[in-house]
Amino acid sequence: MKRSVIAILILTAGVWKVAAQAPNRAAIAGSKEDEAAVERGGALFGAQCGACHGTSARGTATGPDLIRSVLVRDDEKGELIMPVLRDGRQEKGMPRPGLTEAQMGDVVAWLHTLIYGAANRGTYEFLDILVGDAAKGEQYFNGAGKCNTCHAPKGDLAGIGRKYDPPVLQSLWLNPRRTRGGASRAARTVTVTPASGASISGTLESLDEFNVALRDSSGAYHSLPILNNVPRVEIHDPLQPHFYLYRVLTDVDIHNVTAYLATLQ
């Protein structure tokens, strides 16, 4: 079953700090719920309710969105939610959850915190980043997106959903960093072909109107002046597909792929 992943962000000094599985402190403070109860409630919800209501309570085909639920929104101290949790709605497809009163209280606290966060979306813009459909994201990854031609979920991307929280994960694949790991897979390579003589290939060091500089596989540095398009300069950028994706992806694809990557634990 999917792990409950809640994107929780605390904005400190302009940096997004992320704590997995722990709701936003500001949302907890705002909703006036007990932090430990909220944490326990989130874990319980992920394990026992997420399959139907979605791990972020946004609903699935088998259970309604609880963030949009009037009943949940109007609840103040559990008086509306608790009866549903005690008895389920068996005739409507929700079995009796079988939680203790204390566990129900924890789930209520967690739901209150989510409602508060949703009502204050401007401050929690990433709260619902995991709204996508992971199965569709996987299809896209192996299909239209062609991600699998360069990446493997059990290879270079293994555990990426554990390493990064959703917002970081999303920006990482929408806009991957070039500088990772020195001579990284992301380095741009270049082939320079002079008017006569052999061409040289290597890692692109710099390129402007007047000059191209590269380092060949032996580590030697070459700098050549460019005049009237001579020498010919051909650049290969391994990140090109990513920059291209950025233009053609729909929001739905983006959410689905991020949701899929988040499952790579």
Least distance to ligand HEC, CB of residue 172, Å: 5
**86 touches ligand HEC (CB under 6 A):** no
Does 36 engage in binding with ligand HEC (CB under 6 A)? no
d(CA 132, CA 124): 17
* Binding residue for ligand HEC, selected from 7, 27, 28, 84, defined by CB under 6 A: 84
Phi-psi category of residue 264: left, alpha or beta, with phi > 0 → left and psi -120 to 50 → alpha: beta
**Rounded to the nearest 5°, which phi and psi values hold at 138?**
-65, -40
Interaction of residue 191 with ligand HEC, rule CB under 6 A: no
Inter-residue contact 174 to 164 (CB < 8 Å): no
Q: Is 241 a binder of ligand HEC (CB under 6 A)?
A: yes
Alpha-carbon dihedral 42, 43, 48, 50, rounded to 10 degrees: 60
Among 107, 129, 192, 262, binds ligand HEC (CB under 6 A): 107
CA distance linking residue 78 with residue 90, whole number of Å: 20
Whole-angstrom CA distances from 45 to 2, 86, 133 are 11, 15, 18
Q: Determine the interface stretch with ligand HEC among 31-39, 80-88, 127-135, 212-220 (rule: CB under 6 A).
A: 80-88
Residues that bind ligand HEC (CB under 6 A): 45, 48-49, 51-53, 62-64, 66, 69, 71-72, 81, 84-85, 89, 92-95, 97, 99, 107, 141, 145-147, 149-151, 156-157, 160, 172-173, 176, 180, 184-186, 238-239, 241-242, 245, 257, 261
